[in-house]
Structure 1
Amino acid sequence: MKKIVIALSSLFLIGFTSCKENVAKKIEESNIAAAAVRDANASKFPVLEFDKKEHDFGEIEKNTPVETVFSYTNAGEAPLVITDIKSTCGCTVPKDWSREPLAPGESGKFTVKFNGSGANKVTKSINITANTEKGTESVKITAFVKPDSNAVQSAAKAVQ
């Protein structure tokens, strides 16, 4: 019985040892080089740089639509892909951005339209989803929304 166990153990040991040699022979140098390049590029990300991170519309009348343009540049080492741009509410609408990859060093832009709703100091964030290292970037718009002058005059007349 001991001889059978020793013989089977030896057979398994030889089998496992010979498998390692076969695996090493199957590895191709071209695959190793391609993996090294892939791994080196995996650490390179696009960097989204804006001409401005915040735009102030100043004083505007209530319900007066205004818009601004945010320009950006890919300052990274990989192509930039913006997959989505959303605002924190429906009163602010981002539009007109390119869904095509933006090569390093190239620039793009998008427009943000604000419908003038709210009262007093209003701040809205616009969130950009992209393939940057963080995954999201943001810009802001601000405005001081004054009451509609026609509504104020109507209210004054109603009080009299």
Structure 2
Amino acid sequence: MKKLLSIVTVFLVFVSLTAMTMAAGEFKFEKETHDFGTIPLNKPASFEFKFNNTGDAPIIISDVAPTCGCSVADFSKTPVKPGDSGIIKVTYNAATSGPFTKTFTVKSNTKTPVKILTVKGNVE
């Protein structure tokens, strides 16, 4: 009896996990890297990464983490339904002159749960 119960439990877990991965949202970004070019010193630069949900379940973004304290991100806090679009706005504080490349780690419930967005440029 224990063996049968174990087999049924394993089967139900497998079916549940398979169903959860099949019904998931998926990001389709217009672009995942943005080049600001040359920007002035001490003038923050912002860019909006636009995306569509090409999956069959709502996308829920749990966090967008910049790689340093010189950048911030703002993102849709409400679920993005299948077929709808959303925005992740990133801002780089151009407080130091020279070239820069900064990344933002997007965590979500999508088929690809971690996505990296990049901004780069040169501060003069």
Give the structure-1-normalised TM-score.
Answer: 0.63
Report which of the two has the higher share of helix. Answer: 1
> Which gives a bigger RCO, structure 1 or 2 (Cα 8 Å, sep 6+)?
2
Structure 1 residue 40 displacement after superposition: 5.4
Query: Structure 1: which 5+ runs fail to align?
Result: 1-15, 24-35, 147-160
Among 78, 87, 100, the alignment partner of 2:66 is 87
2:82 matched to which residue of 1? 104
Identity %: 30
CA change 1:144–1:80 in 2 (3 A) is same
Distance in 1, Cα, partners of 2:99 & 2:17: 48
Give the structure-2-normalised TM-score.
Answer: 0.79
**Aligned residue type for 1:42:** M
2:11 matched to which residue of 1? none
Q: Report SS of the residue matched to 2:69.
A: coil
How many pairs align? 113
Q: Report SS of the residue matched to 1:64.
A: coil
1:60 matched to which residue of 2? 39
Query: Structure 2: which 5+ runs fail to align?
Result: 6-14
List per-residue Cα deviations over 1:4-36 (Å, max 9, x = no partner): xxxxxxxxxxxx7xxx8xx9xxxxxxxxxxxx6
Distance in 2, Cα, partners of 1:90 & 1:61: 19
Point out the structure with max Rg over C-alpha.
1
Q: Report SS of the residue matched to 1:42.
A: helix
Distance in 1, Cα, partners of 2:82 & 2:28: 11
- Asked if 1:42 is matched to 2:17, the reply is no
